[in-house]
Amino acid sequence: MKVESEERINDLKLLGLDEEATLDQIEAAYDLVLQKRVAIGKSGNVTDAEQREFDNCSSAYNRLLGKSDKKKDFEKGKWFTGFNLTSLKNFWYVYNWQAILVSASSIILISILVSVLIRPVYDMGVCVSDYVCGDQAAFEQYMHGAFPGVKEILYLNLDRVSSGDTDIAQADNMLATRVAARQIDIFIMKNDTFLKYAKRGYFQPLDGFAAQNGIIINEEKDCITATELDSTPCLYGLHISGNERIKQFLNVKNATIGIAKNTARNDLAHELLMKITGK
């Protein structure tokens, strides 16, 4: 809507200008009004009269530039009929702290979401049966140093060679609970103990993994068996006697390593298996 001559003169007077004022002078005068409003706002004591004066100056400024009254449009839910530098400047001077607060909150929220979405899935669990246990402290130090993704090493009495039937039953129940909760990714067990759990379907087949990585299968030492779901025997565990470093910590003469069938960290489990077997 075009501003009538008398209204234009009154609007210019509100901004402290005469009727010959240029566009640059109108902009400069309104900047002073905005700066004054910000200074008063920071004092925390804006009177009704001061707010009315600012509103009147804003309305006059918008009319002079052929804009709608942004303050009233905002209150009526008609915010930003046009996206331009003037409206942005007006918004910033009046609502700067709200804009900063919303922007900061958005950045924090996005950062949290991104960190959750792209965070590597670590916190791996390793189960070691009692027969294999050697120097536990040294083994844990080696594991955490060589593979920081390992969060927990669980030692269970699963071998009859050193455990009673009651101990084995309790350990078996604990293992089943941990596996169901997907807290165990790697198993290191005495060969016959490993074979028992392989037949129960605890481990994932490693045939494809072995072929892909050029691992030569030792039919005499590696765990090759079939579960009730297998039509043919599969490779479920690798003998780990080839890792000379591991021999310092564990009894690996008669030990096998495998990966949990339901692991949520498959790639990391494969990497750890390669390191422990020395392949």
Average pLDDT value for residue range 234-253 = 80
Distance (Å, rounded) from C-alpha 79 to C-alpha 73?
A: 6
Domain-wise residue ranges, the chain: 5-92, 124-277
Identify whether the C-beta of residue 238 lies closer than 8 Å to the C-beta of residue 256: yes
Give CA 86 to chain center in angstroms: 39
Residue 76 above 60 pLDDT?
A: no
Look at residue 62 and give its three-state secondary structure.
Answer: helix
Closest listed residue to residue 195, CA positions, set 176, 171, 232, 221: 221
Query: What tens digit of pLDDT does each residue of 94-125 get?
Result: 566 777 888 888 898 887 776 655 544 457 88
Report pTM.
0.55
Give 171's DSSP letter: H
Looking at residue 88, its pLDDT comes to 63
Q: Which two tokens stand for residue 93?
A: 């001077």
Give 201's DSSP letter: T
- How much of the chain exceeds pLDDT 70, in percent? 80
Closest listed residue to residue 86, CA positions, set 134, 31, 133: 31
CB half-sphere exposure, 28, CA atoms < 13 A: 7
**Domain topology for 124-277:** D-Maltodextrin-Binding Protein; domain 2 (3.40.190)
Sheet containing strand 124-129, edge to edge, reads: 150-156, 124-129, 186-190, 255-259, 234-239, 223-225
Q: Give the mean pLDDT of the chain.
A: 79
Distance (Å, rounded) from C-alpha 37 to C-alpha 60?
A: 15
Q: Which two tokens stand for residue 165?
A: 């039937």
Task: Report which residue type is found at 146.
Answer: A
- State the Rg of the chain over Cα: 37
Residue 89 above 70 pLDDT?
A: no
